[in-house]
Structure formats: structure tokens, C-alpha cells
Amino acid sequence: MPKYLLIKRGTDDSNAALTAGFEELAATMYCYIEELVKVGAFVAAEVCPVAAVRT
């Protein structure tokens, strides 16, 4: 476990590099989640019964 964490403000160039492929990533994740829903492996939280959520 690291002892220190360095947080540094990004520059315009570094921020642009991080967000360059965001649209493609979002589209890929949307398709992946849709496939999980189709096979029944992913259920949205709003359709879960309240009793199942409580611990």
C-alpha cells in the first residue's frame, strides 16, 4: 500500500489525451451492458425488489 499520493493538476494536453477516446469507450460500454441485459446477467438496480437490497 502506498504511503503517499501525489495529485497534480492536468495540463490542456494531458486532459485532451485522456478524453480523446471517450465517445468510443462510452459506445463500447453501452453495447457491452446491452448484451449483459439480453442474456440476463445484468439487472438494473431500479428493478430489484426493495427487500432484496436490504441487508
Grade residue 48 by pLDDT with cuts at 50, 70 and 90: low
**Which among 19, 40, 20, 42 is positioned nearest to 30, based on CA atoms?**
42
Distances (CA, A) of 5 to 1, 13, 43: 10, 22, 36
- What is the C-alpha separation between 3 and 47, in angstroms, rounded? 41
- Is the dihedral angle over the CA atoms 23, 26, 31, 32 positive or is it negative? positive
Mean pLDDT of 4-13: 88
Could you give the percent of the chain with pLDDT greater than 70?
Answer: 75
Specify the pTM. Answer: 0.48
Does residue 8 surpass a pLDDT of 90? no
- What is the C-alpha separation between 11 and 38, in angstroms, rounded? 41
